[in-house]
Amino acid sequence: MLQISSLTKVFRLARSKRARGERDPRERGRRFHAIDGIEFGVRRGQVLGLLGQNGAGKTTLLRILSTSLKPTSGVVLCDGEDLTKNPLEIRKRIGFVSGNTGLYGRLTAREMLHYYGKLHGMTAATLDERIGLLVGKLDMGRFLDQRNETLSSGMRQKVSIARALIHDPEILLFDELTTGLDVAAAESVLTVVAACKEEGRTVLFSTHHMDEVNQLCDSVVIIHEGKLCFEGCVDAMRSQTGESFLDKAFLKLTRPKKEVAIT
């Protein structure tokens, strides 16, 4: 369903951002290759875990897939349709939530869902029906009419997820969804992701928590310094590294080779 080929994103570096000490291998002169020649595919209904250390390029990749950023080169096909050719149509099929995406503090959760629903061209009747459904699914009834600024982190993340689901998208992009949430809130959010999988939605799920990968993901893609360094299922990750714990397997796959030799 989603086919990513030779995807590269290059940013122009501001003078102040250029490395003065040890240079990042992705920094080439004034240019920074945030992702470089990434290729992988995601099947319909699959949950794909997107792993990588901080700054690996996960967020850039998700931003390209969500059409916020345009790739420098390469192609992303969504059911055979080029993402960059008709982004407005693709956006109707995509929902995006990140740990950093915020809410309008002065609006209530209901008002915010109405806003995004209207932006997606939904009628008032469809919107009310859809909000009712999401409120039940995400257990948002208690705080639906409270201003977002008064909500806890867990509640806020639920509103964010409801916002991403309001237009019933086929593809969901989750970027570090549980960052900053307590155990209960994280569990509740992960239940929603599992439900999305059951509903047959395609999910790209970026995380640093290997237990979440183990629990939810059908396959995994690891990005290291902008390049793809692993693609396969969770078991393949274990077998390729000889590690039973995913944390260790991940570290082996992303650690520079000389460091692996020392340990």
Partner 1 sequence: MKAGFQTVFFKEMKDVLRDRKTLLLMIVLPIVVVPLLLNLLIGFVMKKEQEAQTEMLEYIVFGDEFAPKLAKIFEAAKDFKKVTLGSRNELVAAIREDRIDFGLVIPEKTAARLRGQEQASIEFHFDNASIASKVEDRVKERVGEYNEELTTARLAKLGVSSGQKQKALLEPIRLEEKGTGNMREIIGDRIGGMVPYFFIAFCFMGVVYPAIHLGAGEKERGTLETLLLAPIPRYQVVLGKFLAVFCGGIIAVLLNLASLGTWLAIKAGELRGIIGMLIGSIDSLDLVLLALMLIPVAAMFAALLLSVSIFARNSAEASTLISPFGIVLIVPAVLAMLPGVELNWFWASVPVTNVSLAMKELLKGTMDYTMLIAILSSSTLIAGGLLFFCAKWFNRESVLFRM
Binding site for partner 1 (CB under 8 A): 11-12, 14, 17, 63, 66-70, 88-89, 91-92, 94, 96, 98, 100-107, 111, 115-116, 118-121, 123, 160, 163-164
Smallest separation (angstroms) from partner 1 to the CB of 106: 4
Closest separation between CB of residue 165 and partner 1, Å?
12
C-beta atoms surrounding 177 within 10 Å: 26
> Which lies closer to partner 1 via its Cβ, residue 44 or residue 106?
106
Q: Give the contacts of 103 (CB within 8 A, at least 6 positions apart).
A: 109, 112, 148, 151, 156, 159, 160, 163
d(CA 98, CA 95): 10
Among residues 171 and 253, whose Cβ is nearest to partner 1?
Answer: 171
C-beta of 43 vs 118, nearer to partner 1: 118
The residues facing 223 across adjacent strands are: 228
- Identify which of residues 119 and 233 has a Cβ nearer to partner 1 in the complex: 119
Please, what is the minimum distance in Å from the beta carbon of residue 60 to partner 1?
Answer: 9
Amino acid at position 30, single letter: R
Q: Are 5 and 26 in contact (CB under 8 A)?
A: no
Q: Shortest distance, CB of residue 68 to partner 1, whole angstroms?
A: 5
Q: Smallest gap, in angstroms, from Cβ of residue 58 to partner 1? A: 15
Using the minimum distance from each CB to partner 1, give the nearer residue, 16 or 244: 16
Would you say 60 or 219 has its CB closer to partner 1?
Answer: 60
The edge-to-edge listing of strands for the beta sheet with 81-82 is: 27-28, 31-42, 2-12, 73-78, 81-82
Q: What is the DSSP letter of 147?
A: B
SS3 170: coil
Distance CA 26, CA 36 (A): 9
In whole angstroms, how close is the CB of 7 to partner 1 at the nearest point?
15
